[in-house]
Structure 1
Amino acid sequence: MSHLPPFFSGDGKISDQGDRARTASTATLTDGTSIYGIYTPSLTHDSTLSELVVVPSAPEPTVLLREIQQAADDISQLVGRFGFKMAKTLTTPSIKKALCADKKLLRLPCLMYADEFSCVITRFCSKPIHDSTSAPLLWWLWNELLDVLPPIGETRNCRLDFKPALRTDIALPYAITIDISSKHNKYNIELTASYGGLFDERRIFDAPITQFGSPKSEKYGKLTKATLDTSQDPYEGNGCVTDIFEYLVPRAESEWRRAMKAFPAEKEEDLVIALAKSGKAGDDRFPISENQQQQFRNLLWRFPIDAREYVAENGLVGMEKGPYSESAFQAPGPKD
């Protein structure tokens, strides 16, 4: 016969940062005069003890790199389809802020709620930029990918050193450094997982970024217009912001596209004006191919009807002397 006093239990919940609830109970021991609270897992709940104590494990570096690589491929396709001006337009601070209005939607699946980092960015031939902002990895990578990936014939690279901004139960056993490089129009992303320790252990993983190329079609020895899978020709919708985003980032599972769902409606006009100016103009510093201009025209059809009318009335398409014109890249002349 047990000599332990009787106990009574009441259900309670423990909430972790992964938005999952674990049920447990507070057991109360009584000897008739004193009551002692002991926090114990509930034996009456349908969850097992092992399920109650499971902590999400940190992802292997290869798993993390694969998710980053997929996101980088999305940007590579966007840049390849639309060209340099579109890439620079999307890095405009106000546009980026609107496109990523809810940063949490950019979190990588393998990191979940632990995807919050501050970052030190070192661009080619530049001093490091220290930023204590807390944001997911992809938020930091957005500008750097859009800067490195346009095929403008220059060698470019950047390094991002990440530091966890939050303490969670997903404890990464390694520090993350990401290098993005473009050389001879070949793109690469390198992830260094630094474990530290007595011998300063590091593991380095390389992954290519897919270079986008417009499909080519030939008939009777002549090139003909080739339609991308992303193009619906003719477009049959009435135009809306959702259709714009789905055309910019076609992959349905993309974290970029998921984040764009939180785009604030009041920023629509700013976005439309910026995108309208990203098409081909007569004085562009970097050329836009006919295939890229066709992608731009397809994008315009996805603008809301009133937005298309506004763009046409104000002559925004093909506007010269913009920030990406030949004259904007010229060094200032001698002062009078």
Structure 2
Amino acid sequence: MSEVLVLVDHVAGTVRKPTYELLTLARRLGEPSAVFIGGAEAGQVVADAVKAYGAEKVYVIDDTDIRDYLVAPKAEALQQLAVGKDLAAILLPSSAENKEIAGRLAVKLGSGLITDAVDVAADGTATQSVFAGSHTLTAKVTKGVPIITVKPNSATPEESAADGTVTPFVVTVSEAARTARVEETRPREATGRPELTEAAIVVSGGRGTGGDFGPVEDLADVLGAAVGASRAAVDSGWMPHTLQVGQTGKTVAPQLYVAVGISGAIQHRAGMQTSKTIVAVNKDEEAPILDLVDFGVVGDLHTVLPALTGEINKRKG
């Protein structure tokens, strides 16, 4: 059976949910093999995590010599790993960095590339949601090894025990790949909230907050939710781009999505419309978001949210 390489999405060796989603999809195509680029000492920990989702092999690429550089060394590492193997596909979680890695890798391997897929069938046909979610199309790579980046929350992770055999792989990185170096990194301030793209509940605020995200954050905290923001809120400087939900931000598909003070422009809807249950709070009864929701509240968020937060606290208490 042909191998399917899956690039592991992790933070300091802690595997993130998109990896398990991709391993689940990879089992449709062939035999999944995880590719971990990180500290060699974390290889076994990663292997123990991913083998529960079908990873027969775990290629461990020590990033000691490449972690301070941008995407080029990772693309070269994947190229060297892929050469000489019978591969059915290479899957990567769809992020800004990984899409650039995938593009470089496609050029190096002479392969076709599909980005931002939301599903991958057994025959390699990928489904994409395009034009801000207004159209769905299918595409299939016709040359080389299919390279596909898949959006988070596109599949439900399904466990399937496998060997997870650790296989160290040594790469040789060219000088050309070392021309862009990271000079400084700063850890993001911890909030204690779940990661936006992995959260079961998301509470997002928009222009209607007027820049006061206090009620949004209070509701999120009492629900154990992640906080998101519309593009208008991000462009106004009220929230960082890392929390933007939408076509040019992150795509989320939680069990519950609460849109607060968000009009519902198509750009925003593209990033959250696949949520299982959608609730909106907006003082404009003609706001487009209210046409999309399962439950809508017409009212001032600064009145509605504190009352809702208080009621939830009372029932929890």
Using structure 2 for the length normalisation, give the TM-score: 0.29
Using structure 1 for the length normalisation, give the TM-score: 0.28
Structure label with greater radius of gyration? 1
